[in-house]
Amino acid sequence: MKRLISMNKLNNFSIISSLLDNDFYKFTMQNAVIKLFPFAKAEYEFINRGKHSFPKNFDKILKENLNRMAYLKLSSEERIYLEKYCPYLDSSYLDFLNKYQYNPKEVNIYQNGKNIKMNIEGLWSSTILWEVPLMAIISELYYKLTGAKRISDKKIVILTKEKLKKYKKLKVKIGEYGTRRRYSYQVHKLVLKILIEEGSPFFIGSSNVHLSHFFSIKPIGTQGHEWIMFHAAKHGFKKADRIAMENWLNIYKGKLGIALSDTYTSSVFFKNFNKKLSETFKGVRHDSGNPLFFTQETIKHYKKFQINPIKKKIIFSDNLDPCKVSYISSFCQKKINPFFGIGTNFTNDVGVPSMNIVIKMVKAIPEKNWISVVKLSNVEEKSTGKKNMIFLAKKILHL
């Protein structure tokens, strides 16, 4: 009976209350998509990496939350915020966002026992915004419906301050990237409040646009793997990184200049990261594999083109905590500038196991036909896509 009452309450509770409650790179990519690929279609799939068991009727409550998202609209205040803090998002895109509404019909959800299957399909320019808020909803609902008890707000504040103390001692630049696997919106907001109030001058911002608006700070982020995955469907695996970067430059003219390095492994990325691109982009993002080896390879790559690595950045974003940040920053010292995007360790370090879930693009229509897309990553467990397509990609790339 208690579970039924809690479910009824949840049916009247919206987890996502703003169109901007999403990662910034979703909006930057959406802007690029509507300008370059307005008719492209995409399909995404939910992947339950952690083999989590979902409670009965989870799919129904999830659908209720998605249906409410159809009523979210960009407010005039939110538009003014974007105009002020994100000038590289031009007025034509903001006009598009003014009219944008989530379409729940794009999302298909099935529950079979304790397993959830989900796919999202439609125009890429429309479906691109679903991934992050969907994951945030799944995470928060999962904890609520399974009765997972977190530590108190007071303990979260103490824990966050302790981490900040360590980062300040290391004198490293850190950002918060934790929307998609947060314990809850409330925890996310609390943690970000502490980071803003006590993180200066080392805290550089949050990837969450809605909370950045709430706290009047600039959002951070550039692009995700799907940008490059789509380019592979359109241009092939060998050239995908290079053409994706060139198109990014055409849209942003050097702004938001961090290149993502591991969609088809870093070794393939560096082959595409030619002198012009290496000079123009401000740095690279590391999201999988050995961070120290990647740092060495990045420095070596820059030196090959007579580019001083100390003028470039590496944004590390792979499952970070104070211990990992400490040894990475120590290794980078006086060689290259490290920045750290910390996600789950900020927004879901609350005394319960964090979820291991992802939503990834699995197919795209660049022109006429559906093409399966894959991500290879630098580690096997982070690769996504059909096995036969992964095998083909590795064969073509000689991996």
Q: Is 87 exposed, middle or buried (0-12, 13-18, 19+ CB in 10 A)?
A: exposed
pLDDT of amino acid 317? 96
Residue 208's nearest CA partner among 227, 190, 192 is 192
Question: Please, which residues have CB within 8 angstroms of residue 5's CB and are 6 or more apart in sequence?
Answer: none
Q: What is the DSSP string of 210-235?
A: HHHHHTT--------HHHHHHHHHHH
pLDDT of amino acid 13? 66
* Residue 242 CA from chain centroid, whole number: 21
CATH architecture, range 153-347: Alpha-Beta Barrel (3.20)
Structure tokens that stand for 222 in this block: 């550039």
* Residue 31 CA from chain centroid, whole number: 16
pLDDT of amino acid 382? 84
pLDDT of amino acid 9? 56
Residue 22's nearest CA partner among 148, 127, 166 is 127
In sign, the C-alpha dihedral spanning 16, 20, 26, 32 is positive
Residues 397 and 183: their CA atoms lie apart, in Å, by: 39
* Amino acid occupying residue 32: A
pLDDT of amino acid 7? 53
Dihedral over alpha carbons 59, 381, 126, 215 (to 10 degrees): 90
Q: What is the CATH number of domain 2-148+354-396?
A: 3.20.140.10
Q: Which helix (H) or strand (E) holds 372?
A: strand 371-372
Q: In what order do the strands lie in the sheet with 115-123?
A: 107-112, 115-123, 41-47, 358-365, 371-372
What are the sequence ranges of the domains in the chain? 2-148+354-396, 153-347
Residue 275's nearest CA partner among 296, 295, 245, 247 is 245
pLDDT of amino acid 56? 95
CB atoms within 10 A of CB 9: 10
- Percent helix, strand, coil in the chain (nearest 5)? 50, 15, 35
CB atoms within 10 A of CB 311: 12
Q: In what order do the strands lie in the sheet with 337-342?
A: 203-206, 173-176, 337-342, 313-316, 283-286, 258-260
Q: Is the fold of 2-148+354-396 the same as that of 153-347? A: yes
Buried b (16+ CB within 10 A) or exposed e, 136-146: bbbbbbbbbbe
pLDDT means per 10 residues, the chain with 399 residues, are 47 84 98 98 96 96 96 98 97 98 98 97 98 98 95 98 97 97 98 97 98 98 97 97 98 96 97 98 97 98 98 97 97 98 97 95 95 93 90 94
Contact yes or no for 268/242 (Cβ under 8 A): no
Structure tokens that stand for 307 in this block: 């580019």
Residues 277 and 262: their CA atoms lie apart, in Å, by: 16
pLDDT of amino acid 380? 85
Structure tokens that stand for 343 in this block: 């996600």
What angle separates helix 2-11 from helix 131-145, to the nearest 10 degrees?
150
CB atoms within 10 A of CB 373: 29
